[in-house]
Amino acid sequence: MAQNLVALAGNEAVAYAFKQARPHVGSAFPITPQTEMMHKFAEFVANGEVDTEMILVESEHSAMSAAIGSAAAGARTFTATSSAGFALMWEMVYVAASLRLPINMALVNRALSGNINIHCDHSDSMGGRDSGWIQVFCENAQESYDTALMNFRISEHMDVRLPAMTNYDGFIISHTEDALYLLDDDTAYDFIGPYQAKYALLDVENPITVGPLDLTDYYFEHKWSQMEAQKRVFPVAREVMSEFGELTGRSYDFFEEYRLDDADLVMVVLGSSAGTTKDVIDEYRDKGVKVGLLKLRLFRPFPVAEIVKVLAGRKAIAVLDRSASFGGFGGPVFTEIRSALYRQEQTPIHNWIYGLGGRDYDLKQVAEVIEKLQQIAAGEELQEVNLLGIRL
Identify the CA nearest to 71 among candidates 101, 51, 106, 26.
Answer: 101
Judge whether residue 121 has pLDDT over 80: yes
Residue 53: predicted pLDDT = 98
Mean pLDDT of 126-130: 97
Name residue 55's beta-bridge partners.
Answer: 27
pLDDT confidence band for 2 (50 / 70 / 90) = confident
DSSP notation for 30-49: --TTTHHHHHHHHHHHHTTS
What is the location of CATH 3.40.50.970 in the chain?
3-248
| Percent of the chain residues past pLDDT 90, beyond the cut | 97
Residue 56 pLDDT more than 90? yes
**Position 345 pLDDT exceeds 90:** no
Amino acid at 211: G
Per-residue pLDDT tens digits for 255-279 = 999 999 999 999 999 999 999 999 9
Q: Which amino acid is at 254?
A: F
User: 3-248 adopts what CATH topology?
Assistant: Rossmann fold (3.40.50)
Q: How confident is the model at residue 392 (pLDDT cuts 50, 70, 90)?
A: confident
Q: Amino acid letter at 209? A: T
Put simply, whether the predicted model's pTM sits higher than 0.95 gets the answer: yes
pLDDT of residue 343: 87
The mean pLDDT value for 185-211 works out to 95
Q: Model confidence at 346, in pLDDT bands (50, 70, 90)? A: confident
Return mean pLDDT, the chain. Answer: 97
pLDDT in tens, 28-38: 999 999 999 99
Question: Residue 265, CB half-sphere, CA atoms under 13 Å: how many?
Answer: 21
Residues of the chain with CATH 3.40.50.920: 255-388
> Would the CA dihedral through 369, 255, 31, 127 be positive or negative?
negative
Residues in Cβ contact with 67 at an 8 Å cutoff, skipping those fewer than 6 apart: 25, 27, 77, 78, 79, 96, 101, 103, 105
Residue 89 exposed, middle or buried by CB count within 10 Å (0-12, 13-18, 19+):
buried
Q: Which of 34-38, 168-172, 202-206, 230-234 has the lowest mean pLDDT?
A: 202-206
Strands (E), the chain: 3-9, 25-28, 53-56, 77-81, 104-109, 134-137, 164-169, 177-183, 255-258, 265-269, 291-296, 298-300, 316-321, 349-354, 385-388
Gap between the Cα atoms of 77 and 102, Å rounded: 8
CATH topology for 255-388 is Rossmann fold (3.40.50)
Helix (H, G, I), strand (E, B) or coil at 344: coil
On whether the CB atoms of residues 66 and 57 are closer than 8 A, the answer is: yes
